[in-house]
């Protein structure tokens, strides 16, 4: 199942009344959405509030989501509109420069709008990123290759199984073990950050 299909399945469940399925979508996209909204709303606490509002709007509107675009593209538009409306309501002018919803999934948006994170947040982000990369580098080769193909190349389990010439179940197990190893390094750090 591709990520898009998995999202579609979760959306169907939310539309049928399953709130837990929406929680799964929030867990998946919370960082991405906050990152996006932070381009418009520079105060961190305020960006979190606006992101929360965007998710709630998405939840209320989800019965009307018909799957013409991916879930994230749809959420992206809600996020941008919520951020802009927030700025207007505060008497601030939204930036002219927008990123196309389709492009947002392909390009690194860092290059398009200036990053406004505080030095402390930047340091924490870099520390988390360095910890994850370092943990991946220390993995045994079979785990490292599996997690790299998944996280950096975005390959499905089936594609990884073909590339590594092993069963899909083995891929699933290797990726899980890789994550567990990374998690052991990451968990104390995230707790310190207060994430």
Partner 1 sequence: MAMQDNKFEPISAVADGELDADELRFLLRRVESDPEAREALGRYHAMSAAVRHEYVPGADSLADRVRASIDGEPAHTAPEASAQAGGATGRWLRPVGGMAIAASVALGVLIVGPTLFDAGNPAQGPVSEPSVAVIQGAPFEGQLERVATSSGGQSAATGAVPIASASLDAEARQRLNAYFVNHSEYAADGQLGTSLKYARIMGHGSER
- Residue 156 binds partner 1, judged by CB under 8 A: yes
Residue 91 gets which letter from DSSP? T
Binding piece for partner 1, criterion CB under 8 A, among 71-79, 85-93, 95-103, 169-177: 169-177
Contact pick of 99, 113, 128, 145 for partner 1 (by CB under 8 A): 128
How far apart, in whole angstroms, are the C-alpha atoms of residue 37 and residue 158?
34
> Do the Cβ atoms of 34 and 51 come closer than 8 Å?
yes
Residue closer to partner 1, measured from CB, 85 or 156: 156
- Residue 183 binds partner 1, judged by CB under 8 A: yes
What contacts 142, CB < 8 A, 6 or more positions away? 164, 174
Output the smallest distance, CB 91 to partner 1, in A: 26
DSSP secondary structure of 28-50 = HHHHHHHHHHHTT--SHHHHHHH
Residue closer to partner 1, measured from CB, 93 or 179: 179
In sign, the C-alpha dihedral spanning 192, 195, 104, 183 is: positive
Q: Which of residues 26-85 bind partner 1 (CB under 8 A)?
A: 26-28, 30-35, 38, 44, 48, 51-52, 55-56, 59-60, 62-63, 66
Q: Which of residues 88-117 bind partner 1 (CB under 8 A)?
A: 108, 110, 117
Main-chain phi, psi angles of 94, to 5 degrees: -65, 150
Output the smallest distance, CB 97 to partner 1, in A: 19
């Amino acid at each position: 199942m591709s990520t898009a299909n998995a999202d579609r399945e979760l959306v169907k469940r939310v539309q049928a009344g399953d709130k837990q399925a929406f929680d799964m979508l929030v867990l998946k996209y919370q960082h991405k959405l906050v990152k996006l909204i932070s381009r418009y709303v520079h105060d961190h606490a305020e960006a979190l509030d606006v992101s929360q509002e965007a998710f709630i709007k998405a939840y209320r509107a989800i019965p009307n989501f018909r799957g013409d675009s991916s879930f994230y593209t749809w959420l992206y538009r809600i996020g941008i509109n919520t951020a802009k409306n927030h700025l207007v309501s505060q008497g601030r002018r939204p930036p002219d420069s927008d990123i196309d919803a389709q492009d947002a999934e392909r390009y690194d948006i860092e290059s398009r709008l200036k990053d406004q994170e505080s030095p402390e947040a930047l340091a924490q982000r870099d520390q988390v990123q360095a910890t994850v990369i370092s943990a991946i580098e220390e993995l045994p080769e079979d785990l490292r290759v599996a997690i790299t193909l998944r996280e950096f190349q975005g390959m499905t389990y089936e594609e990884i199984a073909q590339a590594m010439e092993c069963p899909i179940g083995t891929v699933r197990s290797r990726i899980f073990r890789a994550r567990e190893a990374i998690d052991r390094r990451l968990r104390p750090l995230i707790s310190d950050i207060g994430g």
